[in-house]
Amino acid sequence: MKPTAILLLHCPDQPGIITEITKFITDNMGNIVYLDQYVDRQDGMFFMRIEWEMDEFVIPREKLEEYIQTLYATRYHMTFNLYFNDVKPRMAIFVSKMSHCLYDLLARYNAGEWNVEIPCIISNHEDLRYVAEQFNIPYYVWSINRDHSNKDEVEQAEMELLNKEKITFIVLARYMQILSERIIKAYPHHIINIHHSFLPAFVGAKPYHQAWERGVKIIGATSHYVTTELDAGPIIEQDVVRITHKDTPESLVLKGRDLEKIVLSRAVTKHIERKILTYHNKTIIFS
């Protein structure tokens, strides 16, 4: 695969943006291999993802961000992020005691489905160390006291590890602890959670039991970016499965776990492929 640059941007909608960006790329010997754009007419905002080959591109990659900032960012009031496909994202996985999402993530990683590195798995329990050992990934445990008296100390140790391993994003694979504002602010819109419900319905604990008590006919799972507001961050992916009056809370949990794995992996895939733009509390997901 040839090295490519990926530009994600949003700005107030106005004529000429696509022409300017594509001309800049082609004038500098870049071959465009992907272009997708969207206009939110209600807010008057323009969103775009564009990718081009870098093997004959005139501008050195270390200067490219500076060029885009100087030529277009101020002029168009543009917010942008620039990535390169040969720089692998580094993903940390946080887990507690449930293994279904962790196994699915690691199986996809081991099969080479994702252009990503997983330097560490972090947990508040020893229970899943054997899974990490099966995949030869370092496993770290920091337990938080019931009264949370050591939470600051634990998160300081976790942050030191994340910085040491140069982690670029975090996946909460049924991690049953609420992250502090400190970690969330260190990784804005780079912490992906899986919630075992079709948000915004049934937030908080035991959503399948809530769904069964309510008598709903579908249950769902939601993957979203983590914000300081519980289960309320920008939604990346959702899916549902039908249920009937014959289902029990236990059967809902089993059906839901299958769904959680799929929904979380879809969200992680889109993040790794740099196909997500966040704006306010929504996401634009490029195809």
Catalytic residues: 231
Q: Which two tokens stand for residue 209?
A: 């039991």
CA distance 120 to 151: 20
Of 244, 209, 284, the C-alpha closest to 49 is 284
Q: How far is CA 165 from CA 6, 87, 254, in A?
A: 24, 15, 34
Q: Which two tokens stand for residue 193?
A: 């959670």
Residue 39's H or E segment, with its range, is: strand 31-40
CA distance 143 to 127: 12
Q: To which residue do tokens 């009056």 refer?
A: 245
Q: How far is CA 99 from CA 132, 170, 204, in A?
A: 10, 17, 20
Q: Which two tokens stand for residue 178?
A: 């609420």
Can you say whether the dihedral through the CA atoms of 247, 253, 254, 259 is positive or negative?
A: positive
